[in-house]
């Protein structure tokens, strides 16, 4: 009887130890910390709320090379207001922008701490002194854009604006959709349409590969490429149909991120693609959103559920789930200078990046 009791007690203790070990391992997987040796460290993150005083402040945002965060609100935001995060007082500061009507159809872009652009169907609102003053550039009357979806300015005078178009066919009474790209060139007083197509329905983003090459992601399945070596825009088909994001690294390679977390790179402007090796590290997410690269070539991708992927020294990628996100869905990541900003469902996370 005593032998049976001792044996039973041993089994109970062993089972408890096993369960405790499995529980600890499970928690480790859920909160997977990023090793110290990697290029990004979430210990110094600043958590910025997207809502303040009942206003949705950060529908669209931009980070500057000095770590400033600019944002434009949604339908609840007052007319004529943009927002800048005050790091000293830890709150959003309202900045007046004359004639600005913000909505979910607006886009914002800051090249540096001085030069910024807010764009919607009513025009381009431009600052060259960090938001102290704003001027308005009216869109070309020939533009058919009904919703602005992307903007990227390389300097105060050169850039691109893109969006969707739509009108009702008078013969069939069916809606006709398409896309349009507007170009701003040095010395020009107006931004003008430089590409228009009904073959595509959505513009997702515009990136600059180098000083002469611009790439636009459309419909999650194609790239439109404009280079000083060619006239017009050249289309390239992507290796997947649900591409969520596009970025370029320091070597001018194009990187794309699929909704399922698949990552490809191309060093010949989309003519051929190489699939990246990804270690899930015990982490999983079914919906990936955005990726970006530092000026030194380090990459990061973000997903729903607080999951991220970071590039490793051997060019592979590894998944992590930092506890700081608390399982929050992550929608967008931007890198400017030495600053990285991630937009989630309720917060923007700001931290240094190397």
Q: How does pLDDT run across 265-308, given as a tens digit for each residue?
A: 999 999 999 999 998 878 888 899 999 999 889 999 999 999 99
Q: Is the model's pLDDT at 18 over the cut of 70?
A: no
pTM of the model: 0.85
Total number of domains in the chain = 1
Residue 343 located in a structural domain = yes
Residue 47 lies in a domain: no
Q: What is the mean pLDDT of residues 111-125?
A: 89
- Predicted confidence at residue 5, as pLDDT, reads 44
Q: Is residue 298 part of a domain?
A: yes
Whether residue 31 has pLDDT greater than 70: no
pLDDT score of 11: 40
- What's the confidence (pLDDT) of residue 101? 76
pLDDT at 336 over 70: yes
Between 11 and 83, whose confidence is greater?
A: 83
Give domain status of residue 30, yes or no.
no
Q: Is pLDDT above 70 for 44? A: yes
Place of tokens 């500061």: 93
* pLDDT average, residue stretch 333-352: 95
- Containing structural domain, residue 246: 239-354
In a domain, 22, yes or no: no
The 10 Å CB-count burial string (b at 16+, else e) for 315-346 is eebbbbbbebbeebbbbbbbbbbebbbbbbee
Q: Percentage of the chain surpassing pLDDT 70?
A: 87
The half-sphere exposure of 2 on its side-chain side, counting CA atoms within 13 A, is 0
- Taking residues 15-25, report their average pLDDT: 36
Residue 177 inside a domain? The answer is no
Average pLDDT, the chain: 85
Read off the CATH number of the domain in which 279 is found: 2.120.10.30
Residue 153 lies in a domain: no
CB 89 within 8 A of CB 136: no
107, 123 contact by CB (below 8 A): no
Structural domain contains residue 19: no
**151-193, pLDDT tens digit by residue?**
998 777 788 999 999 877 778 878 889 999 999 877 666 788 9
């Amino acid at each position: 009887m005593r032998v049976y009791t001792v044996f039973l007690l041993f089994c109970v203790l062993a089972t408890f130890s096993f369960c405790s070990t499995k529980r600890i391992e499970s928690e480790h997987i859920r909160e997977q910390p990023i090793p110290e040796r990697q290029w990004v460290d979430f210990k110094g993150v600043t958590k910025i709320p997207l809502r303040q005083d009942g206003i949705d402040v950060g529908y669209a945002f931009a980070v500057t090379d000095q770590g400033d965060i600019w944002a434009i609100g949604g339908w609840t935001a007052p007319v004529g207001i943009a927002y800048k995060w005050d790091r000293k007082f830890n709150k959003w500061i309202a900045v007046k922008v004359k004639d600005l009507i913000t909505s979910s159809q607006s886009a914002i872009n800051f090249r540096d701490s001085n030069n910024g652009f807010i764009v919607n169907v009513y025009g381009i609102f431009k600052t060259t002194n960090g938001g102290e003053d704003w001027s308005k550039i009216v869109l070309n009357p020939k533009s058919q854009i009904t919703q602005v979806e992307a903007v990227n300015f390389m300097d105060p005078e050169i850039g691109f604006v893109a969006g969707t178009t739509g009108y009702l066919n008078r013969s069939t009474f069916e809606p006709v959709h398409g896309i349009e790209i507007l170009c701003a060139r040095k010395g020009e007083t107006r931004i003008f349409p430089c590409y228009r197509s009904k073959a595509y329905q959505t513009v997702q983003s515009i990136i600059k590969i180098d000083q002469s090459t611009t790439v636009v992601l459309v419909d999650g399945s194609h790239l439109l490429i404009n280079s000083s070596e060619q006239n017009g825009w050249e289309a390239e088909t992507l290796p997947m149909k649900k591409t969520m994001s596009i970025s370029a690294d320091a070597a001018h390679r194009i990187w794309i991120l699929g909704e399922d977390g698949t990552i490809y790179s191309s060093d010949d402007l989309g003519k051929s693609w190489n699939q990246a090796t990804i270690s899930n590290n015990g982490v999983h997410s079914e919906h990936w959103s955005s990726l970006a690269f530092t000026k030194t070539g380090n990459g990061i991708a973000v997903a729903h559920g607080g999951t991220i992927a970071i590039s490793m020294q051997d060019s592979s990628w590894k998944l992590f789930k930092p506890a700081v996100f608390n399982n929050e869905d992550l929608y967008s990541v931007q890198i400017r200078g030495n600053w990285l900003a991630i937009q989630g469902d309720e917060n923007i996370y700001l931290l240094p990046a190397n």
